[in-house]
Amino acid sequence: MLQIVDLLLWQLLLLPAASCVSLPLVPFLCDNIETNQKINTAQISIKNGISIPDNLAVYLQTQECYKCDLILTTAVRNECVINVDSRWPMRVEIRVMSRNANISNVTESCSEKSLTRMYTEGGQYSIYIDKDNDNNINCTQAVINEPSDPNIPIYIALGGAVFLILLWNFGKFLYRLGYIHRIVYFWSTESMMSDLGTPTNISQMDDNAVSRPVVEAKERLRSLDTFRGMAIVIMIFVNYGGGDYWFFGHSTWNGVTVADLAFPWFIFIMGTALAFSFQGQLKKNVPRWKISVRILKRSAKLFLLGLLINSFGADSGVDFTTFRIPGVLQRFAGTYLITATSFLLLAPQPNTNQYTRLSPIRDIVNYWPEWILYLAFIGLHCAITFALDVPGCPRGYLGPGGLEQSRQYFNCTGGASGYIDRLFFGEKHIYQSPTSQEVYKSTVPYDPEGLLGTLTSCVQCFLGLQAGKILINHNDWVKRCRRFFTWAIILAGLGLLLCKCSYNDGWIPINKNLWSLSFVFVLSGMAFFLLMICYILVDVYKVWSGGPFFFAGMNSIALYCLHEFFSGRAPVYFMVHESHASLLPMNLWGTAFWLLVSVYFFYKNIFITV
């Protein structure tokens, strides 16, 4: 009973002092409380060496939370062990408050500057607070247990991947020399010699096989399917959890992580493939109205598939009052519909014999109406983003809301982008748990695949279409690669200029949730560069077959739908210990499983398209 009264008095005492922070009351009075350590956390033991009745107020905040105030987390009487986030540097501040002293006598014992650091996952640390003979506060921080590098499972996985690649290439080398054939032949004929006999000359048989005429079929560029396969493999891996490493998940708000690469690259390569598909149909004089019907059908199929995927996991039935309407495939559908239709209506009829002084840049000048259209898309997106009046929010707000900027714009998550989605779809029909929610504690739903971002994703698809136009209009591989590299530098430079090479303080930060203009430019620049590398290795010098990504790229939509359906189910998911060392192998297995399925589909001539 005494402890309860003590706790109430302590919270009343802290109320005026904590009015400047996010949480006005201390959640609990921590006194010798043991906490179970979890993944992505470290433990701090805070020891109060000051004579009772002085207590300690602990304030915490991760540096990932941009312009956020420290949060009053707990009070410590004697000693308390707390968990802190180890994914990003942690801001820590401890203040001494006497229950018997005047409230104005609150003193700062351990400043944020002295305690802020990057805590290692699984590590154990201590902070000891006492007073010297002159009654000055002393803060001593020490490492109790510094664990091994939590990224060791990644290093092992990379080493295993390198070993398998070397083993595979060594096997191919032996196969070319005929050793694999001889070994298989030896073991298969040793026990059946009396029934089947043996050939008299293996090398002669091989020579005869080689001497047969080979008819080479004209192949599509394998680098396009390889690039698409890389995007879908990354998408599957991060969707399955990525070993629960933060950099394999989506960014909290601004910035780019591995998970943020897959979707825009997939949209980029969709535009590149679109150029080849339509160019072939236009050369065959397929009526444009027939092509437009195909565009509508494919867009509708993608949208309906996206709605079906959104219904996965609804074991008790779909509740249409809270059913999410936007999604990944829905964004694909809208982007494809707009980009393909504009290309169909505005692209000139193919003419390979046309040559003018502008031929070196014909991949641009021949399509000038499209450039005007997409520049208008950029202007419209910027006008809506920075000029739309969002109730209760400043114009041009691009932040996550919640705790950012001392909670001034708590319900402004996503600014104009979020407002449009909540107005158009309704709050209950968009994504309820945005990535910013964990850190910024926002409560407003926000959908990363919303309406406004479709404009800039169309720009990204158009830039991929530009890569396809380069491949179509220029036959020399050197000219193609020179243009790819030039576009990569220009776009990446524009993106970095817009964000001022800053994580949070640029004019337009790189942001996947908003699908910001700087995000589109930087990711498109990366896509141009990666496509150039794939093209050189796979199609020019042929030092890489594109495997195993090539197989996944040939059935990308099928793999995406299947991996979503089996998420959390066997044979790709099992209950394991909550650690990187357990989760990473399981997520890698889930990704490898769908790669094996794609290989099986390829050799069985199973190609599922929409």
Q: Provide the token pair at 197.
A: 């006999």
Catalytic center residues: 250
For residues 298 and 558, what is the distance between their CA atoms, to the nearest angstrom? 14
What would the two tokens of residue 540 be? 């020019």
> Which residues pair with residue 129 across a beta bridge?
48, 139
For 105-147, the DSSP string reads G-EEEE-HHHH-B-PPTT-EEEEEEEE-TTS-EEEEEEEEE--
CB contact set of 24 (below 8 Å; sequence gap of 6+): 15, 18, 72
For residue 442, give both structure tokens: 């926002």
| Structure-derived torsion over alpha carbons of residues 90, 579, 83, 504, reported in degrees to the nearest 10 | 20
Q: What percent of the chain is helix, strand and coil (3-state, nearest 5)?
A: 55, 10, 35
What is the distance between the alpha carbons of residues 573 and 564, in angstroms, rounded to a whole number?
A: 12
Phi/psi class of residue 509: alpha, beta or left (left: φ > 0; alpha: ψ in -120 to 50)? beta
Structure tokens at 488: 């990569």
Q: Which CA distances in Å does 318 have to 227, 244, 323, 349?
A: 36, 29, 7, 47
Amino acid at 522: V
- Count CB-CB contacts under 10 A for residue 401: 28
Q: In the beta sheet, which residues pair with residue 130?
A: 138
Which distant-in-sequence residues (6+ apart) come within 8 Å of 562 by Cβ? 594, 597
Provide the Cα torsion 317, 320, 321, 326; round to 10°.
120
String of b and e for 261-280 (b: at least 16 CB within 10 Å)? bbbbbbbbbbbbbbbbebbe
What single letter denotes the amino acid at residue 248?
Answer: F
Amino acid found at 492 = A
Q: Are 76 and 86 in contact (CB under 8 A)?
A: no
Alpha-carbon span 99 to 220, nearest angstrom: 77
Pairing relationship of beta strands 90-98 and 54-62 according to DSSP bridges: antiparallel
DSSP secondary structure code for residue 43 in this structure: E
